[in-house]
Amino acid sequence: MKKRSQKIRNNDSAGYLMSLPYIIYFCLFIGFPLVFSFILIFHKWNIITPMEWVGLRNFVRLFRDIQFFKSIQNTLKFLIIHIPLQITVALLLAVLLNQKIKARGFFRALYFLPVIVSGVVITLLWRQLYAYDTGLLNTLLTHLGFARIPWITEPEWAMPSIAIMATWKNVGLYVVLFLVGLQGIPRYMYEAAEMDGAKAYQQFFYITLPALNSTMVLVIILSTIGGFSLFIEPFVMTGGGPINSTLSAMLYIYNQAFYFGHMGYAATLGFFFAFIVLAVVLIQKKFVERKD
Amino acid sequence: MKRNCRRQKTVIRGLFLLCMLILLCSGCARNGRERQAGNGHGVKLTYWCSPNQNEINLAQELVNQWNADHPDIQVILQPIPASQSSEEALLAAIAGKTTPDVCSNMWPGAMDDFTSSGGLVRLDEFPDYFDYMTARIPLDLLESFRAPDGHYYQIPWKTNPIMLMYNVGMFREAGIQKVPLTYSEYLAAAKLITKDLDGDGNYDQWMGYRDIRPIWWQRFFDYFTFYIAASGGKTLFDDSEIIFDNNASVQVFQFFQDIYNNDYYPTTTFQGDNFIAGKLATQFCGPWNVIHVEKFELPGFEFDISPIPVPDDYSGPVYTYGDHKNISIFSTTKYPREAWEFTRYLVTAQADLRLLELCSQIPLRKDLTSNPLYRDYFQQNPKMVKYAEQAPFTRGVDGASDLKEIFDGISQEYEACAIYGRKAPQEAVADAARRASVIIEWNRSR
């Protein structure tokens, strides 16, 4: 008995040793930053001077910070455009790519390609496409007899333009998720519906969509979290302008930390924002998820 | 099986120990190098200058001369490492404890960060600091560079007063007889200058151009310069209180809103220097630009300098933004006395003459226009006389904490009001002041 427990202990230590790389990774890159950020909430620190205890002052500033709330508003505006657009396009493409079409594998890979390309590269590319005077989109529009669109130079257009670009970049991932969901729907359900005389759109709304509920919840939650993390696109494309219309919450937090050197305040904003994301995701889950 | 398992564990442990050993060795090796560097013969000082080529040339000349005259105190020159701004590079160096002994591109607006981090040597601890400084500049000017703790950490070195540079030929062609000194004169001239020359419906020449991006330091050269002029030499703060929520700020915002409303300035980005190309009639710049324009101007190109336009109802001397740059010694130096000696050498009358000659920048010294040493230079460069005469009527930035963020707030409001016309000047100025007060109150929580 003693020998057996000794053996288990030996196995345990080997197991711990094997998981040591992850434990080190977790401690260095997740645990420590999280705990340190929490400590920073109550401090003022600009990296070069010693940390100063400020109590809840960072929260006092947060609730008076018009620009932070403007950045949240911008992020929500982005989400309102981006999530429905992304779900619609992804679902449409997934349904199409689930059909027996030629070069299906090629198209599936093609739509996934932007997901694996660097966000900075894509944003630089789209900045050229959106250029007011020389951009490809406006050149096309003027050739067709339409007026130029101030894609990223007018406050009203800038965030929708970024949402379109973000949808183009991320849609491939959600196409894959929907494809997995679609392939999990039993074929006999469609056959039974066909026998009952259901038309294609009825099959889609009464079989496909309800059967995709769990995928839909996943897609909505992932796109919400991804949307709240909006950073690279405005950072590279617009710098948050014009008139702060594309200043996302993440960009504002980044600016506070690394542009103005307010590490403590940025940590406070980060935690506050994380709770907003959590609340939104819980609300979405409650309304979208079906237990049946 | 049991033996295999034991062997695997031994291998894993061995690998782990090896990794730890490599990390330890690499750490020790670095310390070893550092120790070795400290064992050199004689005194070695590191001096960082501005990365601007003219200033590198000046610094190189001065350092070569110094090294020849002082074999026991050798100076190694390095331009400030590349970064978005010199201040960011210096702050990173303070954080990493890799600061030089001496730096000559210290912006007074960032001094609060440098001093509060204990990064600088107190210069007034040197017994001859005050005598040397008061012989060079007026006492009230020296006072303006005193840190909030009552001490001095910088040698006021040079100023670059921002003034109006205008194309004489374009003014003449447009029938403008008099250089615009007020807002209404400037706008009237702008109306005559801004034209569509080839009849394609787009303007081809404008009254001026400013970078419209809401980058905080860009506002030094439009809003802040004009605010100092319109307010008779005020800055953003008075005794740590925000004072820019006033009529002068509103007038400046209104002035630039009028300019952009009437398309007197383009809002697109240009390549190249369009002032020299004759597409822009005016620009607001410091004396450094004189040498640039004279170098690249086409035959027949004529330009001159004038004070910054002021509101129509303004009277009194016209002040402007001084864009001061000073010299400091960093507290990482092992040789503060030698560094102080070298710093004094950088601001001798002869070094200041070379600053004028090589960089077209104005040294901060009270005898600039009267000292015979500089007479020949000013006779050969009459445009620089205007900058030298403007120098006493300059203001720098306040040494307040978070000045960068306050200017960022002003930039945002300037963009909304002046460039896009989405806010009334009063509202924009009030919003900028409100944001600044939130930042300041938060800062006072220290």
Across the interface, do B420 and A242 touch by the CB < 8 Å criterion? yes
**Which of A224, A127, A114 lies closest to A170 in space, CA to CA?**
A114
Check whether residue A128 and residue A51 sit in a common domain. no
pLDDT in tens, B100-159: 999 998 999 888 888 888 889 999 999 999 999 999 988 888 888 888 888 999 999 999
CATH of B43-153+325-363, one of 3.40.109.10, 1.10.260.40, 3.40.190.10, 1.10.3720.10: 3.40.190.10
Q: Could you tell me if residue A63 is inside a domain?
A: no
pLDDT at residue B30 above 60?
Answer: no
List pLDDT tens digits, range A224-280: 999 999 999 999 998 898 999 999 999 999 999 988 889 999 999 999 999 999 999
Supply A104's token pair.
Answer: 């299906």
**CB B313, CB B30: distance < 8 Å:** no
DSSP conformation letters of A92-133: HHHHHHTS--TTHHHHHHHHHHHHHS-HHHHHHHHHHHH-TT
Write out the residues of chain B at the interface with chain A, using a CB-CB cutoff of 8 A. Answer: 5, 8-9, 12-13, 16, 91, 94-95, 113, 116-119, 213-214, 268, 402, 404-405, 408-409, 412, 415-416, 420, 422, 431, 434-435, 438, 441-442, 445-446
Name the percent of chain A lying above pLDDT 90: 69
Tell me which chain A residue has its CA closest to the CA of residue B412. A243
pLDDT at B190: 98
What is the rounded distance in angstroms from the CA atom of residue B213 to the CA atom of residue B216?
Answer: 9
In a mutational test of the B interface, the residue from A24, A49, A133 whose CB has the highest number of chain B CBs within 10 Å is A49
Interval A120-145: pLDDT, tens: 999 999 998 998 877 899 999 999 99
- Our CA-based measurement puts residue A47 at a distance from the nearest CA of chain B, in whole angstroms, of 7
pLDDT in tens, A163-198: 999 999 999 999 999 999 999 999 999 999 999 999
For the cut 50, the answer to whether the pLDDT of residue A69 exceeds it is: yes
Residues A115 and A250 in one domain: yes
Of A58, A65, A261, the CB nearest to B438: A65
Which of B309, B304, B334 lies closest to B320, judged by CA? B309
Dist. CA B328–CA A246, nearest whole Å: 40
Q: Which residue in B has a C-alpha nearest to residue A44's C-alpha? A: B446
Chain B residues whose CB is inside 8 A of the A260 CB are 402, 404-405, 408
Q: What is the dihedral of CA A87, A90, A92, A97, to 10 degrees?
A: -160
Confidence class of residue B16 from pLDDT cuts 50, 70 and 90?
low
Residue contact B438–A14, C-beta within 8 A = no
- More confident call, B88 vs B283: B283
User: In 3D, which of B437, B408, B419, B420 has the Cα closest to residue B224?
Assistant: B408
Give contacts of A127 with chain B, Cβ < 8 Å.
none
Are A243 and B446 an interchain contact pair (Cβ–Cβ within 8 Å)?
no
Inter-chain residue contact B13 with A14, CB threshold 8 Å = no
Q: How far is CA B376 from the centre of its chain?
A: 28
Mutate to test the interface with B, among A6, A20, A24, A48 (most CBs of B within 10 A): A48
What confidence tens digit (pLDDT) does each residue in B211-220 have? Answer: 888 888 999 9
pLDDT for the residue numbered B18: 60
What is the average pLDDT across A40-57? 89
Q: Which residues contact B295 (CB under 8 A, 6 or more apart)?
A: none
Query: Do both A35 and A101 map to the same domain?
Result: no
Is the same domain home to A224 and A125? yes
- Integer Cα distance of B446 and B437 in angstroms: 15
User: How far is Cα A1 from Cα A9, in angstroms, rounded to an integer?
Assistant: 12
Residue of A243, A252, A256, A269 best to disrupt the B interface, most CBs of B under 10 A:
A243
Q: Would you list the DSSP string of B141-194?
A: HHHTT--TTS----EEEEE---EEEEEHHHHHHTT--S---BHHHHHHHHHHH-
Cα→Cα distances B356→A243, B137, B159, B361, Å: 40, 17, 11, 5
Given a cut of 70, whether residue B409 has pLDDT beyond it is yes
Distance (Å) from the alpha carbon of A76 to chain B's nearest alpha carbon: 21
Nearest CA in chain B to A255: B405
Same domain, A279 and A159: yes
Distance from CA of A112 to the nearest CA of B (A): 35
**B73-85: average pLDDT:** 89
pLDDT at B45: 96
Handedness of CA A283, A231, A258, A249 (dihedral sign): negative
Asked if A242 lies within 8 A of B415 by C-beta distance, the reply is yes
Contacts A235 to B, Cβ<8 Å = none
Q: For chain B, give the number of residues.
A: 446
Among the listed residues A5, A99, A70, A46, the one whose alpha carbon sits nearest the alpha carbon of residue A261:
A46
Domain identity same for A153 and A246? yes
Query: Closest approach of chain B CAs to the CA of A167, in angstroms?
Result: 27
Please state, in angstroms and as integers, the Cα–Cα distance from residue B389 to each residue in A192, A291, B226, B291, B364, following that order.
Answer: 94, 81, 18, 18, 12
Residue B345 structure tokens: 């050498």
Task: Confirm whether B43-153+325-363 and B163-322+398-443 share one CATH topology.
Answer: yes
As a whole-number percent, the residues of chain B with pLDDT over 70 amount to: 90
Q: Do A249 and A147 share a structural domain?
A: yes
* Pick from B16, B116, B268: CB nearest A49: B116
Average pLDDT over residues B331-335: 94
Could you list the beta-strand ranges (E) of chain A.
43-44, 52-53
The minimal CB distance from B416 to the residues A44, A243, A265 is found for A243
Pick the residue from chain B with its C-alpha nearest to A60. B442
* Phi, psi at B238, each rounded to 5°: -135, 115
User: Domain containing A213 — which CATH number?
Assistant: 1.10.3720.10
Task: Tally the residues of chain A.
Answer: 292
Contacts of B16 in chain A (CB under 8 A): 17, 20
Four-residue CA torsion sign, B125, B127, B132, B135: positive
pLDDT tens-place string over residues B294-312: 989 989 999 999 999 999 9
Q: Are residues A188 and A268 in the same domain?
A: yes
Distance CA A78, CA B431 (A): 25
> pLDDT tens, B145-201?
888 888 999 999 999 999 999 999 999 999 999 999 999 999 999 999 999 998 887
| Chain centroid offset of residue B359 CA | 14
Query: Do the domain assignments include residue A62?
Result: no
Rounded to the nearest 10°, the torsion over CA B6, B11, B16, B19 is 170
* Phi and psi angles of residue B45, each rounded to the nearest 5 degrees, phi first: -115, 145
Single-letter code of the amino acid located at A238: T
Q: Does any CB of chain B come closer than 8 Å to the CB of residue A8?
A: no
Distance spanning both ends of chain A, measured CA to CA: 49
For chain B, how far is it from start to end, CA to CA, in angstroms?
64
How many structural domains does chain A have? 2
Q: Which of B5, B95, B445 is facing A48, going by the closest CB pair?
A: B95
A276 near A72, Cβ under 8 Å? yes
Q: Please state whether the peptide bond connecting residue B425 to the residue before it is cis, i.e. omega within 30 degrees of 0.
A: no
A190 and A103 in one domain? yes
Same domain, A191 and A151: yes
- Could B91 and A60 be called an inter-chain contact, meaning their C-beta atoms sit closer than 8 Å? no
CA distance A46 to B2: 55
Q: What are the boundaries of each domain within chain B?
A: 43-153+325-363, 163-322+398-443
Map tokens 């950072």 to a residue: A235
ipTM: 0.72
**Distance of alpha carbon B96 from alpha carbon B23, whole angstroms:** 20
What is the pLDDT at residue A193? 93
**Chain A interface, mutation test: which of B412, B417, B419, B434, most A Cβ atoms within 10 Å?**
B412
Mean pLDDT (whole number) for A102-109:
87
Tens of pLDDT, residue by residue over B240-272, are 789 999 999 999 999 999 999 999 998 876 778
Average confidence score pLDDT of chain B: 88
Residue numbers of the domain that contains A174: 68-288
Q: Which residues of B touch A152 (CB under 8 A)?
A: none
Strand partners, B159: B362
Alpha-carbon distance A265 to A61, whole Å?
Answer: 8
* Closest among B159, B142, B154, B53 to B104, alpha carbons compared: B154
Q: What residues contact B428, with CB distance under 8 A and at least 6 apart?
A: B253, B413, B414, B416, B417
Do A249 and A122 lie in one domain? The reply is: yes
Token pair recorded at residue A291 = 């237990």
Give CA separation, A184 vs A179, B1, B319, B442, in Å.
Answer: 9, 43, 75, 55
Q: Topology of B163-322+398-443 in CATH?
A: D-Maltodextrin-Binding Protein; domain 2 (3.40.190)
Q: How confident is the model at residue A9 (pLDDT cuts 50, 70, 90)?
A: low
The per-residue pLDDT for B27 is 44
Instruction: Report the distance separating Cα B313 and Cα B230, nearest Å.
Output: 9
Query: Domain check: are A47 and A122 in the same one?
Result: no
pLDDT of residue A3: 60
Task: Name which of A69-78, B7-16, B84-93, B319-328 the model is least confident about.
Answer: B7-16
Interchain CB distance below 8 Å, B445 and A57: yes
**In this structure, is residue A127 part of a structural domain?**
yes
DSSP B49: E
The model's pLDDT over B40-71, given as tens digits with 9 standing for 90+, comes to 458 999 999 999 899 999 999 999 999 999 99
Tell me the average pLDDT across B379-386: 94
Q: How far is B64 from chain A (nearest CA, A)?
A: 33
- The pLDDT, as a whole number, for residue B441 is 86
pLDDT confidence band for B239 (50 / 70 / 90): confident
Q: Is the peptide bond before A242 cis (omega within 30 degrees of 0)?
A: yes
Whether the pLDDT of residue A86 is over 80: the answer is yes
Distance of alpha carbon B139 from alpha carbon B225, whole angstroms? 24
* Strand, coil or helix: B283: strand
The predicted model gives B376-388 an average pLDDT of 94
Distance of CA B185 to the CA centre of its chain: 29
Residue A35, domain member (yes or no): yes
Residue A102 and residue A91 in contact, taking contact as beta carbons nearer than 8 Å: no
Residues B279, B205 contacting (CB under 8 angstroms): yes
Whole-number pLDDT of residue B36: 34
